[in-house]
Amino acid sequence: MVEHFNNGFEESDFSAWTGTVGAPAVVNTSNPHHGTYHEEVDTNNTEYCHVTFTEDQTVYVRLEFKWDGSDPGNWQNVWSFLTLLKTATNIVIIGLLRAGTGVWQIRFTTFLPGQVDQYHTFTFSVDTYYCLELYFLRNVAGAYYLYLDGVEILSRVGVDTTAVSGADVLRVGATVSRVAGTGWIDCVVVADARIYCESDVSIPVMMHHYNRIYKKIRG
């Protein structure tokens, strides 16, 4: 696996990132998912950090997200927290939607070859971290997959995504202003293979080591 970027804001600033827009804050409160620090944003504003990484045609992005705020009401786009791009061209935008009373959804917007919105209903609790992983393949038979807490929830496959040469920019935070509230992001990784949630990463790693040991024993 080639890891293009890995940051959990443990520098207590955005020095590992290419830059910021608006006024995101790195804080050490409100229970970061891992370590001491995580990114905090006002979801009523546009404020995020962004990184430019080595362009790739196979891109996985993994992060942890949580949100807290007053009930926004039905059919509200609460928070757009991840945007994957080629330079300034949108490839994917992912956000949180309040679809009805007690109904929360992940909104998965893919842009190539043309915008498609997909939705996944899930049990959502405020101030609780969720693991999200995105897969994008640039190909004439391209693909998008989305995983929530390690489980595939949405996909768009067999579509021509070659309008861009690959992906090379990631924005996380409040990438589009939505409703009043606070969002947090932690444990951001960009790579060319499955990353998995931090709680699950030991499984493939353990299997890898087990297989190596087993082969040595068998000769």
At 212 the three-state DSSP class reads helix
**H or E element that contains 62:** strand 58-68
pLDDT at 101: 85
pLDDT at 198: 86
CB 155 within 8 A of CB 144: yes
Which parts of the chain have pLDDT scores under 70? 200-219
pLDDT at 59: 98
CB 60 within 8 A of CB 193: yes
pLDDT at 39: 97
CB 120 within 8 A of CB 101: no
Tokens of 4: 């293009």
Q: How many domains does the chain have?
A: 1
DSSP state of 128: -
pLDDT at 199: 72
* Separation of alpha carbons 168 and 111, rounded Å: 15
Question: In CATH, what number is assigned to the domain containing residue 10?
Answer: 2.60.120.200
Residue 66 backbone class (left: φ over 0; alpha: ψ -120 to 50; beta: rest):
beta
Range of the domain at 16: 3-218
Tokens of 36: 């001491």
pLDDT at 186: 97
- Report cis status (omega within 30 of 0) of the bond before 113: yes
pLDDT tens digit sequence for 99-120:
988 899 999 999 999 999 999 9
